[in-house]
Structure 1
């Protein structure tokens, strides 16, 4: 019974992410803030229980603001990242063979087990991602947390 529930919950999570990312894109407003040259994209170091570091790119203004609040300690609400991965290296994250899709990235407190995996586990099993492992390429590392913002590459 637990297995059926886990699969159903995983499919529901994938469906929710698909619905959320299918909404019309909002225009990104360029605003200038002290210390931040351009808020149309921001880059953050994410770590997890393994202490490995992974660079994430964020493009939605609300996500960028929330990430900066997490890094500064202004909030502890929704500290983890939920995203679809893209199975290719990104110039801003050269250590890993995958990266986050900034258009699908969200923050969460709790998520379904089917999308939980650590940074190196995703790398080690990337060829299986999108099937039974990380269905729909949805990744939600339960121990993920942002530790600092880094300059754009």
Structure 2
């Protein structure tokens, strides 16, 4: 019985340890906002292995996929991150997924709109902090030297 408990404890610890060390990959998309001249990049992290693989596929095959297949959504938090210094909010990496056709106008916004309405996020504006930046276009994978780990 003791060896069964010890074995289960070791297996549980190994699983938790693997989850704690899950890869975080970073990507960026740009906003085609005409009201704000220039290219405006938004960097975000993702931890789900299937989402990371698909994000890499979208970056590799840029321009050859229908636009609706490269849309992501996730939960944002109103804190700045070193890897995304231009914006006072970021995606919680563990929540980033593809929309899978679940497009909803209530969660679409540009980074500029979110920045202007940051005090309203989570209420009537971007309910449940869900953001689905449909107008953004994924452009590249980003190398991040020292990302913050707290989420």
- Work out whether the TM-score is over 0.5: yes
> Is contact 1:55-1:93 (8 Å) kept?
yes
Q: Which runs of 5+ in 1 are unaligned?
A: 1-24, 31-38
Instruction: Name segments (4+ residues, structure 1) moved above 6 Å.
Output: none
Measured in 1, the distance between the counterparts of 2:54 and 2:19 equals 16
Q: What is the root-mean-square deviation of aligned Cα atoms in Å?
A: 2.3
Measured in 2, the distance between the counterparts of 1:95 and 1:55 equals 9
Measured in 1, the distance between the counterparts of 2:49 and 2:110 equals 26
The count of corresponding residues between Structure 1 and Structure 2 is 120
5 Å-filtered alignment, 1:1-153, equals 27-28=18-19, 40-50=23-33, 51-73=39-61, 76=65, 78-108=69-99, 109-153=101-145
**Which has the higher Rg, Structure 1 or Structure 2?**
2
Structure with greater helix share of residues:
2
Measured in 1, the distance between the counterparts of 2:96 and 2:107 equals 13
TM-score (norm 1): 0.70
Measured in 1, the distance between the counterparts of 2:65 and 2:140 equals 14
> Is contact 1:84-1:136 (8 Å) kept?
yes
